[in-house]
Amino acid sequence: MQQLFSIPLLAILLLITACSQQSTLQDRSDGLEARPSQLDEVAAAFALDLSGAKVYIAPVQIDYTKRFSSLPRRQYREKDYELDHRDLQRLNTLLAQSFSNKLLKPRNAQQVSEQAEADYTLSLSLQDFSLAAPLDPSPWTWRVYTEQSAYAQLVGTLYDRNGSAVIHFRDRRDIGENFGSSGPGGRLERFTSVTFWSDMRVDIRRAFASLNRSLL
């Protein structure tokens, strides 16, 4: 009797799980299907194929937030924790190159410089972005130690020519979280612009590599 009962019960559980997953997919207003991922969220159009596509990568949008508290406020302004024009250009280059290397090249797709000639447009943003310290610190605080370089939510949406979303992803990231990897209480490392850009490069590449696996 126990075996006869367990079989239909298992079938019921599987049916409930399948219905729940289907409901989750249908609940998305953009019509995209959720994909298993190491990122917080990845969704894509059914049977999406970027092979040979031309993709325009728009300049990143940054939404800053107040999360810094390790340095005396009287020494810095909020503006000191924002990226300047040169840093923004460097960040855009890093994002575009990483996305191209991890997602476009494996599909024989390419990045284009003009949106008019693109099949798809990628919109990227760093939400709740917070630097651990200014990239150009004042002379009297040139030695700054932090547990991580920055925090951000990396959010991206890929649109087709009609303006419809075909990929959407989101991931919260402690940039340079390896700072706390040694010892039970973590450790502090000296914060510099070199450290920041090295951590950004590693974490952005890691995020796009995870996105690529989700789309396979």
pLDDT score for 20: 44
CATH number, domain with residue 51: 3.40.50
- Among the ranges 64-68, 102-106, 171-175, which has the highest mean pLDDT value? 102-106
Question: Is residue 66 predicted with pLDDT exceeding 90?
Answer: no
Which residue(s) pair with 144 in the sheet? 191
Structural domain boundaries, residue 119: 46-214
86 lies in some domain: yes
12 lies in some domain: no
Both structure tokens of 21? 């997953």
Q: Answer whether 56's CB lies under 8 Å from 121's CB.
A: yes
Both structure tokens of 130? 């917070």
Question: Is residue 26 predicted with pLDDT exceeding 60?
Answer: no
> What is this structure's pTM?
0.79
138 lies in some domain: yes
Structural domain tally of the chain?
Answer: 1
Question: Is residue 73 predicted with pLDDT exceeding 80?
Answer: no
8 lies in some domain: no
Segment 114-137 mean pLDDT: 92
pLDDT score for 161: 95
193 lies in some domain: yes
Segment 153-174 mean pLDDT: 96
Helix ranges restricted to H, the chain = 2-27, 85-99, 193-214
177 lies in some domain: yes
137 lies in some domain: yes
Segment 177-184 mean pLDDT: 50
Q: Which of 75-84, 129-138, 185-194 shows the lowest mean pLDDT across its residues?
A: 185-194
pLDDT score for 5: 39
Segment 180-188 mean pLDDT: 52
Segment 145-160 mean pLDDT: 91
**CA pair distance 175, 94, nearest whole angstrom:** 14
Q: Answer whether 140's CB lies under 8 Å from 147's CB.
A: no
The better pLDDT of the pair 115, 68 is held by: 115
Predicted confidence band at 135 (pLDDT cuts at 50, 70, 90)? confident
3 lies in some domain: no
